[in-house]
């Protein structure tokens, strides 16, 4: 068999074969053929390495002495207690940087709630969880006046920030907190965590987001010698941080303050729920939309409570009718109805045995005094609700409804594309108002 090289030269290597005109023949070294003609496999050569230029990246915040040790958290955190529900979900970040705090002081008069959104590491949020409420309560001692309370909470925030900066860490945390004492509620925030009040079914934002793109915040930063520019489609302080206030962020501390906005609110009966959440929720879900979901979920839970209470009340009345030794007429009528349903004596006997502990058989003699007392105790145990319907309506929504609302809000934000960590805390104000 002739090699491809000899065929391409008409067999003698000097002229092309008959019928082939203008055939340009490349040297075998270029074509990549084996010169000896023993193999026609192509040689595979690795291409030259392509150098990709580095692109602009955000400046790493933890460049100071020490470092934030990243701690792995669970993907979700659920918490439900009487009058409160919390749900957290880790986003696309490697580590969960959201946190929350629920705390009551020793005399239970002050109830503290907080949601924290960390960035650049977990240490700032962890430090805030452990210290902010303690600093605030410490500063609030002997502060009866509302104006003094605002200044005390401001001092608590600033003291927490000061002590965190001493650790030399560059991470930061946004905060939203609420403290309830009697008929007063004090709400504060740093950054883009937000507090939304449900008042008569209508949403009312109690805080204003601190973002670099806000006109007043940008002017404040520029007046102090800093600047704000757009990076990755968002206004940022020095092109790095999108929020203009936080705890931590030592490299930007001259412009990123830890001074919160604070307001004191007198609680009224039409104030139903308070929603505290990180920006992972608010970037995708509107204030009124969130309130609508909360009220719908909790209203459904209250309806179930009412239905359960009604069934329990009816059951208690029935037990009293058939077991009271003085109520002969109702007992006779019930016996007749039972006879229609159980015509045979065998079914009566079986029914008697099944109801022996409940004393519900009409054919038996009236129970003794001791047995009547036992029955009353059983009825009390069976009925966890008040017999007064008005008292029931005044009870707060159970934690199941609050937690269900938290989960629904987080799910809605994720469905709409949120990739951030999300924490939602819902407080039933009727439960904590004294």
Tens digits of residue pLDDT in 326-360 = 344 444 343 344 444 444 444 444 444 444 443 33
| pLDDT range class, residue 80, cuts 50, 70, 90 | low
Contact 104, 113 (CB under 8 A): no
218 within a domain of the structure (yes/no): no
Residues 286 and 401 in one domain: yes
Residues 165 and 204 in one domain: yes
Residue that finishes a domain, picked among 317, 346, 365: 365
Average pLDDT over residues 193-207: 98
Residue 409 has pLDDT above 50, yes or no: yes
390 within a domain of the structure (yes/no): no
Residues 424 and 277 in one domain: yes
173 within a domain of the structure (yes/no): yes
Q: Give the end-to-end CA distance of the chain in Å, rounded to a whole number.
A: 104
Q: Give the burial string for 207-218 (b: 16+ CB within 10 Å, else e).
A: bebbbbeeeebb
Q: Which residue in 114, 154, 139 sits closest to 245, CA to CA?
A: 154
pLDDT for res 400: 87
Residues 1 and 109 in one domain: no
Domain count, the chain: 3
Whole-Å CA distances, 78 to 81, 89, 241, 289, 434: 10, 9, 29, 22, 26
| pLDDT range class, residue 106, cuts 50, 70, 90 | confident
238 within a domain of the structure (yes/no): no
196 within a domain of the structure (yes/no): yes
Residues 191 and 273 in one domain: yes
Contact 72, 90 (CB under 8 A): no
Residues 35 and 165 in one domain: no
Report pTM: 0.64
Residues 2 and 115 in one domain: no
According to DSSP, the β-strands at 261-266 and 184-190 are: antiparallel
Residue 95 has pLDDT above 80, yes or no: yes
Residues 28 and 167 in one domain: no
418 within a domain of the structure (yes/no): yes
pLDDT for res 223: 97
Residues 115 and 80 in one domain: yes
pLDDT for res 358: 39
| pLDDT range class, residue 107, cuts 50, 70, 90 | confident
Residue 162 has pLDDT above 80, yes or no: yes
344 within a domain of the structure (yes/no): yes
pLDDT for res 147: 77
* Length of the chain as a residue count: 434
Q: What is the pLDDT of residues 245-266, one digit of tens each?
A: 999 999 999 999 999 999 999 9
Q: Where are the alpha helices (DSSP H) in 324-368?
A: 328-341, 345-354
Residue 304 has pLDDT above 90, yes or no: no
pLDDT for res 18: 52
CA atoms within 13 A on the CB side of 307: 6
Average pLDDT over residues 89-108: 92
| pLDDT range class, residue 145, cuts 50, 70, 90 | confident
| pLDDT range class, residue 156, cuts 50, 70, 90 | very high
Residues 297 and 336 in one domain: no
Residue that finishes a domain, picked among 319, 350, 365: 365
Residues 419 and 273 in one domain: yes
Residues 426 and 283 in one domain: yes
Domain CATH code at residue 112: 3.60.40.10
**H helix count then E strand count, the chain:** 13, 14
309 within a domain of the structure (yes/no): no
Q: Which residue in 272, 269, 270, 267 sits closest to 295, CA to CA?
A: 272
Domain containing 292 equals: 76-120+161-208+269-303+395-432
């Amino acid at each position: 068999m002739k090699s491809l090289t000899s065929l391409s030269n008409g067999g003698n290597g000097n002229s092309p074969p008959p019928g082939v005109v203008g055939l340009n023949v490349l040297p075998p070294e270029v074509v990549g053929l084996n010169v000896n003609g023993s193999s026609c496999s192509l040689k595979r050569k690795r291409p030259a390495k392509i150098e990709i230029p580095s692109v602009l990246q955000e400046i790493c915040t933890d460049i100071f002495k020490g470092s934030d040790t990243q701690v792995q958290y669970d993907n979700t955190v659920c918490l439900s207690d009487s009058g409160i529900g919390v749900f957290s979900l880790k986003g696309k970040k490697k580590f969960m940087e959201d946190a929350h705090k629920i705390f009551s002081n020793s005399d239970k008069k002050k109830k503290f709630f907080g949601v924290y959104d960390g960035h650049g590491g977990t240490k700032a949020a962890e430090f805030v969880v452990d210290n902010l409420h303690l600093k605030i309560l410490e500063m609030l001692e002997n502060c009866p006046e509302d104006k003094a309370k605002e200044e005390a909470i401001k001092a608590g925030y600033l003291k927490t920030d000061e002590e965190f900066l001493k650790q030399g860490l560059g991470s930061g945390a946004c905060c939203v907190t609420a403290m309830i004492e009697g008929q007063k509620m004090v709400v504060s925030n740093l950054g883009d965590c937000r507090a939304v009040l449900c008042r008569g079914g209508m949403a009312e934002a109690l805080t204003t987001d601190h973002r670099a793109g806000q006109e007043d915040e940008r002017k404040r930063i520029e007046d102090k010698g800093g600047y704000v520019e757009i990076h990755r489609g968002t206004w940022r302080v020095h092109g790095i941080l999108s929020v203009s206030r936080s705890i931590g962020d030592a490299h930007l501390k001259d412009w990123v303050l830890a001074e919160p906005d604070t307001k004191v609110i007198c609680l009224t009966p039409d104030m139903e729920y308070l929603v505290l959440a990180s920006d992972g929720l608010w970037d995708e879900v509107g204030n009124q939309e969130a309130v609508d979901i909360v009220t719908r979920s909790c209203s459904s839970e209250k309806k179930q409570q009412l239905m359960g209470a009604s069934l329990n009340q009816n059951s208690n009345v029935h037990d009293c009718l058939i077991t009271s030794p003085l109520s002969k007429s109702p007992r006779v009528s019930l016996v007749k109805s039972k006879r229609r349903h159980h015509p045979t004596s065998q079914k009566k006997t079986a029914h008697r045995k099944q109801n022996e502990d409940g004393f519900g058989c009409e054919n038996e003699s009236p129970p003794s005094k001791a047995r009547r007392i036992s029955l009353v105790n059983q009825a009390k145990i069976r009925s966890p609700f008040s017999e007064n319907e008005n008292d029931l309506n005044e009870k707060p929504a159970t934690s199941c409804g609050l937690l269900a609302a938290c989960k629904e809000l987080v799910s809605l934000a994720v469905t709409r594309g949120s990739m951030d960590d999300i924490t939602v805390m819902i407080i039933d104000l009727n439960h904590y108002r004294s």
